[in-house]
Amino acid sequence: MNNGGRTASTKTIGSLIMHRYDGVKEGPKANDIMQIMRMEHGCEISKSLAWDAREYVISLVRGIPEQSLEKFQNTYTC
């Protein structure tokens, strides 16, 4: 499929696949993301873009560690 040299952003890809990984212990693999994008959306993406989308999805699903620590400290402050 010729997409005119355009590609989806990390956030766009992440939002398309995030529902698959909500509540899952292990995050998506880059190769899995590449296959999902190819099979379901007809879009070829690079492994580095898939990896960036993976990191984006994990940060959304699990939260950013610094924010989680801050919430924990605020909750359990004496």
Question: Tokens 């997409």 appear where?
Answer: 3
pLDDT at 68: 52
**Residue 1 pLDDT:** 44
Q: What are the contacts of 22-30 at 24+ separation with CB within 8 A?
A: 22/61, 23/61, 24/61, 27/54, 27/57, 27/58, 27/61, 28/54, 28/57, 29/54, 30/54
Which string of DSSP letters, residue by residue, matches 34-52? HHHHHHHH-----HHHHHH
Question: What are the extents of the domains in the chain?
Answer: 10-75
This prediction's pTM? 0.68
pLDDT above 60 (res 3): no
Give tens-digit pLDDT for 8-61.
889 999 889 888 877 767 778 899 999 999 999 998 999 999 999 998 888 877
